[in-house]
Amino acid sequence: MNLYHLIQSLNPEQKSQLLHILQSESKSNQENLVEAKFHNGLFCPKCGCTENITKFGFKNGHQRFRCKNCGRVFNEVTDSFLMGTKKDISIWKKYIDCMLNHFTIRNTAEICGINKTTAFVWRHKILDVISSKTDKEIKLNGIIEVDEAFFNISYKGMRNLPRESHHRGTKANKRGISNAQVCVTCAIDRNKNSYGKISNLGRITIDSLNRLFENRIEIESIICSDSNSAYRKFSEGIGCKHIEIESGKHKNGIYHINHINSYHSKLKTFLRKFNGVATKYLNNYIVWVDNMIDEIEELMNIICKQRYRSFNDRKLIPVI
């Protein structure tokens, strides 16, 4: 924000000099993206062909290429959500910078010169991409701590509410758990690999644990949890040793659930900044608090490479 005010205080000539510097920078950023996306050489996103690809002019500031094999015209952002954007890559980078600094939607919109709805949509497009990357990559092994937390269902921001809105989406009391709450189940290993998501409505079940952690926990891992029997049965089912931490006790030698407890309190603190989040976006915020890539260039490279399907394709209550 200081920088923003500083820029405001420049005279027209200084502003135009600054603009010049930023524009030439943005050009080389674009070149970086092309290099990153095609670091193994050019390839066609349609047929995968690596030969017979020629340059095919510029459009919206992007160098385009054409595959002579199948006729597909593409650029470095083809198939990512940046393909449809009319905003310059430099605005996206500015946006990511705001996001990494946890600026509000309002401040971010102001700094980037976009409207608030766009700022909100961009937030979740970026988080969608990181989320699908996390889904593909995260594996847990060794000593793994698991626990669940409950959040009231929230339809914040939705026009046609299915039922009465619990506006704030606050963390619900563990007592009196009902299907008006989503169960967020998270696991973390001692290498700080972590994975968490809305698993189901109400109390945790063995079925939802199986679905959530399918192919994610390496064999011969050791699972630490509280005394909820679902965890014991789940561990037995996947052939892992289970260590139960009795309630009231915090430690059993090297086995404890301190890391997962602090994971949940970090999540809770983080969510408080947003004055409640809609349940349909909750998984994205879990990814943001824990699996965020905090380097702008790296994040841009990931966004360019990842296919993006649809923003609106999202369940109101995304249980697995």
Told to check if 51 binds Zn ion by CB under 5 A, we report no
Least separation in angstroms between residue 70's CB and Zn ion is 3
What's the closest the beta carbon of residue 47 comes to Zn ion, in angstroms? 3
How many residues contact Zn ion, by CB under 5 A? 8
Per-position DSSP letters for the chain, written without gaps between them:
-HHHHHHHTS-HHHHHHHHHHHHHHHHHHHHHHHHHHTTT----TTT---SSEEEEEEETTEEEEEETTT--EE-TTTTSGGGG--S-HHHHHHHHHHHHTT--HHHHHHHHT--HHHHHHHHHHHHHHHHHHHHHH--B-SEEEEEEEEEE---TT-SS-SS---TT-PBPPSTT--TTEEEEEEEEETT--EEEEEEEESS--HHHHHHHTTTTB-TT-EEEE-S-HHHHHHHHHTT-EEEE--TT--EETTEE-HHHHHHHHHHHHHHHTTTS--HHHHHHHHHHHHH----HHHHHHHHHHS----SS---SS---
Binding residue (CB under 5 A) for Zn ion from 33, 67, 186, 243: 67
Candidate segments 18-26, 40-48, 162-170, 312-320, binder of Zn ion by CB under 5 A: 40-48
Among 33, 44, 105, 300, binds Zn ion (CB under 5 A): 44
Selected from 36, 43, 46, 270, the binder of Zn ion by CB under 5 A is 46
Tell whether residue 72 is a contact of Zn ion (CB under 5 A). yes
Residue 51: CB minimum distance to Zn ion, A: 10
CB of 80 to Zn ion, least distance (A): 17
Q: Please, what is the minimum distance in Å from the beta carbon of residue 176 to Zn ion?
A: 58
Among 32, 36, 43, 49, binds Zn ion (CB under 5 A): 49
Does 68 engage in binding with Zn ion (CB under 5 A)?
no
To the nearest whole angstrom, how small is the minimum distance from the Cβ of residue 100 to Zn ion? 36
Considering only 38-46, 82-90, 277-285, 291-299, which stretch makes contact with Zn ion by CB under 5 A?
38-46
Instruction: CB nearer to Zn ion: give 73 or 206.
Output: 73
What does the binding site for Zn ion look like in residue numbers (CB under 5 A)?
44, 46-47, 49, 67, 69-70, 72
